[in-house]
Structures are given as C-alpha cells and as structure tokens.
Amino acid sequence: MSFTLAIVGRPNVGKSTLFNRLVGKRLALVDDQPGVTRDLREGQGRLGDLRFIVVDSAGLEMADDDSLQGRMRRLTERAVDEADVCLFVIDARAGVTAADEYFADILRKRARHVILAANKAEGRAGESGALEAYALGLGEPLRISAEHGEGMDDLYRALVPLAEEFEAANVQQAPDTDVDVAEDDDESWRPSAAKPLQIAVIGRPNAGKSTLINKILGEDRLLTGPEAGITRDSISVATDFMGTPVRIFDTAGMRKKARISDKVEKLSVADGLRAVRFAEVVVVLLDVGIPFEQQDLRIADFAESEGRAVVIAANKWDLEDDKPHKLNELREAFERLLPQLKGAPLVTVSARTGKGLDRLHNAILKAHEVWNRRVPTARLNQWLGAMTEAHPPPAPGGRRIRLRYMTQVKTRPPAFVVMATHVDKLPDSYQRYLVNGLRADFDMPGTPIRLTFRDQGTKNPYKDKADKINQSGALSKHRHRQKPKV
C-alpha cells in the first residue's frame, strides 16, 4: 500500500513541520522565516497503517522563471506532476490569499488527486480561515495543526480510499513471477537494492555539489544556480549510479564558523554534518580553481575523523587549460596537506559536462571495498613479526617493548588491536609506521585505520599454576603435621 504524497503550498504555511510529523523524525529544517525549504525532500511517511512516500516541497511563489524563486517553483510543479496525491496546505490564521487561489487553479489542472488542509487551525484564530478555504473549490478542507498533531485522524480517513485505489491498480499491474534471490553472507556489505551504498557529497559553497548529483541522476532533481549557498537541507536521493544502487546526500556548503551568522545556515551545516555520520563513503568536492583551501582541509579531516571512506573529487575540470600540470599540483598538495588520507582516491570531474563520472564511480566502489576489508588473524601476525623484525620497537629506559599478538576487531573502518608490553612508552611514530605498513601491504589506501594497543604486561603465564601447586603443597604439609585427636 505505497503511494506518493506531495505537500505543497505557499512559504511558511507549515509544510516542513507537517513533513516531519508524517515521517516521525526532524528531517526537514524548520524556522519561522519563510523560504527555508528549497529542494524536494523525500521520506518514508507513516499514518496509522498507511505507508507512503511523502515529499516536502519549496513554497510556491509567483516569480520570474529565471529567478531563484522561479526555479524553486518549477521543482515543486514537477513534484505535483509526479505525485499520486497532492496535499495543498494553507495558513488558516492568514486566510485564503491571492497566491492560494492562483496555485489552487494550477493544482486543479495538473494534480491527479488534491486534499486541502488548513494548517494552524487550532483554537478560534483559525476558524475563519478554514471556512474561507471552501472558496478554493478543492472540496472540504481538513482542519489540522502540524505542530500539535491535531487533525491527523481526518487526514488518515481522507487517504485510506485513495490508498486502496492505488493498491488495487498496483496488484493488476504487478508481474506474476516469483524469483528467489540467494544471499551470500560474506558479501553482505556489497551494495544492493535493499541496502544501497550511502554517499555524502560535501564541500564549500558553490563547489558544484548539486550540479554533480543532478548529472549522476540524469535529471534536474536538485536546485542549482550561480548563487552560492542554494542548498540548505541535506537532501537524499536514491538512484542507480552506473549499475550500483546508491543513496546520495546533497549537503549545504560549509563555511568557516566565524563567517556564519544566519541561524538557518547554522542548521544547514549541522544537517550536513549529520549526513556525513550516516554515510559510508564521503565525496569531498573541491573547486579546481581554488583547491585545498583551509576549509576544504577541515572538511576532509572531519570526514576522516568520523571514520568514513573518503574520495577527493576536483570539480570544474573542463575549465582547466593545462590539465597535466594542474593534476600534478593537485596530487602534490593532497599528499602534503592531508597525510592522514594518504592513498585516498583523487579524481577530476566536470559536473557540468559529466566527464569523469566513470572514474568517480570506480573510486567510490574501491574506497567502499577497502573500508569493509577484513584481514585474517594468521596473516596479520605473520606481518607483525616481519614488521618488528625489520624495525624493532624502541626500548625506553632499557625496557624492551614487545608486540605479542594482533587481530582485527571490526571493519567500517578497519580497526586493529595489538597486545603489547609497556604500551604507554610506545611512540606515535611507531604507530604511524605500522599504519602505513598496513596500508601498503594489505592494499588499504586512503581509508581511516584505527590501531589500538593494549597492555598485556609482563605477567608469567605459569605463575597462577605455580601458586596453586605451592598452596596445595603447603596445605598438605599442614594437615600432616597436625596431631590426631585422642
């Protein structure tokens, strides 16, 4: 019983609040100022026993097609064309405006099914506005309060007959086949339709993140333009990227904290950081004209510190004249400025023309595969013996540090534990020596590697056994010396 519900209406009527109410999470940014939402955001809606896809759209505004508001309106109109049901939301406290009447006329012509909802209708303040809504000619308006959850039962009753109609149509169109798919547990980490690869695209404002994702999707799904900072929400889109099921997160451009004064921008950056934590592979997108600025380095370091697989992509490559010389400069700067990501893929792309997307796809798959790599314990200990023989640990204060045993405790990212003695005396340089050796010998370039040392101490493994023997011997002697009772 799945269908698509698009929430449309003027700016600041409560669409994003209603979206968050239906998905049960605070996914969409909400603020008092109008125009916070700019892109189309999808989520899994739930209302009673109904399950559906809900789409949060930008506010409908009467503006020129070439303006930012005009491009936002075109995206919303496309959502109206593709949705099964449109939920047209008005502000009951403001009443019906001329813009509401204009967009109601558009919905009558373009939408398949329209449900009219008068939001902010709690109390007496919204009564007159809810009555005015009858004049829009879209049927009886539902009096709801997205903020307080009122009227959700009325919305449920309005959706049930439509959902049953869609389900009946889907049953008739469904092919009569039954295919069993066998799953390989060893390859469970590989991307699939049920578990797509999670990718977050991050970078400074105006680096071309939304344009790149639109090129991957093959359609203008995300709002783009020459203005910096268009994207505000972290929009996730599911697609098939050259045969690989993926879910891509488009994030807001990240500037230095000192330059951020707008509250909405702060919320947008926080939303982008949250998307990085949910991602498996993070694509750090650079502007090839001004690459590896201080903010780029901070963004890449944050992705590494969160333990994500990282791919560096230099965008706007089509604008470069001397490409070989520029590529050498990029690689030199990358190795010098980001040593913690040594060996991570560095690819050049053009989001405008689509060149380099195949290289980006291969780099993402390689980074994901390395991020999930597991090394057998036997091989690790053979390797550890060879590494300590080639370069023994130091002996501070005459105390020799012994690395006794090594094993991999987790993947995503790869994490290893080494049992050793005097670990508090082990210098950081030796830890870097082992990490670099793991990268080189087990083909794990670029991925974050977590290496932990645990102190095994110098405990004699036979000490407990000897103590038990001594205790039992002493006890038997004590019993033998005792005089028998008369």
Known binding-site positions for GTP: 9-16, 56-60, 119-122, 203-210, 250-254, 315-318
Any idea what the Cα angle at residue 293 is, between residues 292 and 298, rounded to 5°?
Answer: 85
Q: How far apart are CA 182 and CA 351, in angstroms?
A: 37
- What's the half-sphere exposure (Cβ side, CA atoms, 13 Å) at 407? 5
Contact 384, 406 (CB under 8 A): yes
Task: Tell me the binding residues.
Answer: 9-16, 56-60, 119-122, 203-210, 250-254, 315-318
Q: How far apart are CA 127 and CA 398, in angstroms?
A: 85
